[in-house]
Amino acid sequence: MQDAVLAMLAKQPAHGYHLHALLRRALGPLGESMNRGQIYVTLSRAERAGLVVCERTEGLPERPERKVYALTAAGHQRVAAWLAEVGRPKPDLAEFHLKLFAAAAARLADPVELVAAQRRELLRRLREAHQAALAEPAGSGAGLLLEGVVLRLQADLRWLESCERAWSTVDDEAEDG
Amino acid sequence: MQDAVLAMLAKQPAHGYHLHALLRRALGPLGESMNRGQIYVTLSRAERAGLVVCERTEGLPERPERKVYALTAAGHQRVAAWLAEVGRPKPDLAEFHLKLFAAAAARLADPVELVAAQRRELLRRLREAHQAALAEPAGSGAGLLLEGVVLRLQADLRWLESCERAWSTVDDEAEDG
DNA sequence: TAGCCAATAGATAGCGGTTACCTATTCGGG
DNA sequence: CCCGAATAGGTAACCGCTATCTATTGGCTA
């Protein structure tokens, strides 16, 4: 979450409500369950960590609502690192999806290359899972679990093919609003 | 995690290290990354919540190592609720796997019925995802994400078939050690 | 005009998951 | 006799997430 929020700030400074709207739009129906308060928790923690700063210049001078946050240099580094890394311990569909969105919107990375890197990682894990499954005794619980992992990895690889098709034909549709 | 730890205590009281070993064995290669300290964090929080109590009777009287925890009545209720519920917001492969394990070990529920309930839930979500995908404009990011969700759900359904095969032939292999 | 509701905007308390790190004992082998 | 592995217990701090609260603005209606 923190990475996704920071990545949304990479293109331009914004206030919490706007970030929330961006994330919801990027996630579609899956984003409807997102809690708005989480954005502010995430932003305040990122501010404490020095990844963002608040410039509360928006609105009338007497009513400084709309706290506008901007990425610091450390924040930009963090975003770049997030986009560069693959194969986190928690492979999340939505997280990778947001990564593609942010990369395209902020022109920080090529989505097609991100897809290729992710595919390499998933193939690597698929090999690992197969090997691990072979090492398990037949009928063991762990073997069954590994079978589930394999099936999911295969499904994710098929999804990546769709991602590649979609993002290789897109050039400038990643608008912000 | 908390639910899984509590479920491991449903069969008999145990101390943290033993619970850790049980979870690692149940998860196989996927459990190797589990941090041991997490068990103690989980147990202390469960104790604060009144779900477990500590009977530090094991070991010599002068050296009360091996804190043995036991479920309270509230803890048993919690475990029963965990086994009864389906379709959490976070469908996790390992969590369901552990649920089957715990249900079989503690004789608290029929694994085959749990599989059937899970399949009903996944089919329901599959219908939802399909409907949501139809409502999305073609080529939108959210539609792509929904396609990934559908592929994963289909993979999980295939995995459930393997689970059913495996657990319908098992009767008493869920030993504890 | 007063009342009400939705959208906008921000925030906090608290739980649970996770990691990184620390301590202490026991026991066998070099 | 010391060293290291296995066993056993623990803490601090972070992040994700939910439930809940406040406040303003603007429009609609009774």
What percent of chain A is modeled with pLDDT above 70? 87
Task: Look at residue A99 in the predicted model and tell me its pLDDT.
Answer: 82
Quick check: B42 and B69 in contact, CB under 8 A?
Answer: no
* Unique residue bearing structure tokens 């709207």: A21
Q: Which of B145, B157, B160, B176 is the best residue to mutate to test the A interface, defined by the most A CB atoms within 10 Å of its own CB?
A: B145
Decide: B167 and B115 in contact? Cβ < 8 Å.
yes
| Burial call B54-70: b when 16+ CB within 10 Å, e when fewer | eeeeeeeeeeeeebbbe
- Is B40 in the A-facing interface, judged by CB distances under 8 Å? no
Residues 6+ apart with CB under 8 A from B150: B126, B129, B130, B133
Amino acid code (one letter) for B33: S
CA nearest to nucleotide D12 C1': residue: B41
CA A123 to chain centre: 20
Cα–Cα distance for residue pair A124/A57, rounded to 1 Å: 48
Please provide the average confidence, as pLDDT, over all residues in chain B.
82
pLDDT at B90: 63
Each residue of A23-73: pLDDT tens digit?
A: 888 887 777 778 889 999 999 999 999 999 988 765 554 455 678 999 999
Dig out the tokens for A51 from the structure: 């990844």
Q: What is the mean pLDDT of residues B33-43?
A: 90
Is strand C less than 7 A from the beta carbon of B44?
no
Query: Domain A1-108 is in which class?
Result: mainly alpha
Contact status, residue B102 vs residue B8, Cβ threshold 8 Å: yes
pLDDT 10s digits, B99-119: 888 778 777 788 898 889 889
Check pLDDT > 70 for residue B175.
no
The rounded mean pLDDT for chain A is 82
Contact criterion met (CB < 8 Å) for A151 and B136: no
Question: β-pairing, B52-55 with A68-71?
Answer: unpaired
**What mean pLDDT do residues B113-139 have?**
85
B66-84 pLDDT, tens per residue? 789 999 999 999 988 887 7
- Count CB atoms within 10 A of the CB of residue A148: 22
The tens digit of pLDDT for each residue in B148-160 reads: 889 999 999 999 9
Interchain CB distance below 8 Å, A27 and B145: yes
The spacing between the Cα labelled CA in A1 and the C1' in D11, in angstroms, equals 26
Question: How is chain B split into domains, by residue range?
Answer: 1-86, 110-177
Set of chain B residues whose Cβ sits within 8 Å of the Cβ of A31: 142
* Cα separation values, A65 from A61, A72, A176, B21, B149, Å: 9, 21, 22, 52, 38
Q: CA–C1' span, A177 to C2, in Å? A: 37
Helix H segments across B60-171? 73-84, 93-106, 111-135, 141-168
Which parts of chain A sit beneath pLDDT 50? 61-62, 173-177
Contact B176, B105 (CB under 8 A): yes
Top-level class of domain B1-86: mainly alpha
State the average pLDDT over residues B125-137: 85
Return the pLDDT at B135: 81
Is-contact B43 B52, C-beta < 8 A? yes
The structure tokens listed for A163 are 């991602």
Residue of B nearest to A158 (CA): B151
Alpha-carbon gap, residue B108 to B121, rounded angstroms: 20
